[in-house]
Amino acid sequence: MKKVMVIDDSAVVRQVLTEIINESDDLQVYATAIDPIFALEKMKSEWPDVIVLDIEMPRMDGLTFLEKVMKEKPTPVIICSSLAQKGTELTLKALSLGAIEVITKPQLGIKTFLNETKKDIRNIVRACAIAKLGQNKVQRCEVLPSFEKVKGLTQIASTTDKITAIGCSTGGTQALEVVLQALPKSCPGIVVVQHMPEKFTKSFAERLNSLCHVEVIEARSGDRIIPGRVIIAPGGRHLEVAVSGAQYITKVFSGPYVNRHCPSVDVLFRSVAKQAGRNAKGVIMTGMGNDGANGLLDMQRNGALTIAQDEASSVVFGMPKEAIKLGAATKIVGLDEIAGLIAK
């Protein structure tokens, strides 16, 4: 039985989340707290396996609490955040500090929203309760040299006819940061699906853009996929790769959930398999569920090099595991090896 602590200044949120989580046979909310000060007192006697945390609370904010927890005893933390713009920015900061998943709560109709998504909430809490923290805290790689300086690489490697597609979910925000920071400006164009709620991906892309040598943007239809550019699918919309003349471009569109996700990794991978074939590489990274496994297999069958993150470096070994089970991964590597394979 995994022990869960819910910290939120809303009595309604604490009550509903407790009821939802306790419906599971393998999860139990053993304590709730109105703010981090009360939570820290309760944690002195019994430490939780996973924490569901609001950000804006009285006496101590969630970010300060998160930093304290990660320094004292790293613990899986799920942010339960509002979709307001300020909440979005603070939530992204929390993810950079070590939180591994986000449950978005609307400003109105919170109780109804939580009850309508209770199955997803339980799945998130269950996955995070067994997550392996510290897997993304590998030493940052030096930026890889430009293609022109790497022995054995031909000039064609730096043209727009080579692309890489990446899919990730739980734990992926930090994993992407590790990979993208190591890439040179001359790396092949990259398209990414990271499971994130609406309104978060634009800020996420802007944050990565400020940290990386490559350009990182949120996808719009018609964006060219060119060397040195990373394009991230917007939350709530699917991303595909299309062809315009001799160029690869993006197609962004609204559509039904695929594998319980929008954007879906499978949607992206299948489009890359069809449009790019052997001119592409596919990378599936940390995350729960099976989104992307079948799409990666399609890419492999069409001649692409396919890569899965290994269990040892994955926060949640769900998506890569499912891809490996299907035989979809040509290579299985640690997080710190992925940037090098993308750059080759």
Query: Which residues are known catalytic residues?
Result: 169, 195, 291
Phi-psi domain of 152 (left: phi exceeds 0; alpha: psi -120 through 50; beta: other): left
Return the amino acid letter for 131.
Answer: A
Q: At what angle do helices 293-301 and 265-275 cross, to 10 degrees?
A: 10
Return the amino acid letter for 15.
Answer: Q
Angstrom distance (rounded) from CA 257 to CA 134 = 31
Angstrom distance (rounded) from CA 281 to CA 299 = 8
Closest CA to 191 of 137, 144, 241, 235: 241
Angstrom distance (rounded) from CA 308 to CA 332 = 5
Angstrom distance (rounded) from CA 289 to CA 283 = 16
Query: What would the two tokens of residue 166 be?
Result: 């990446």
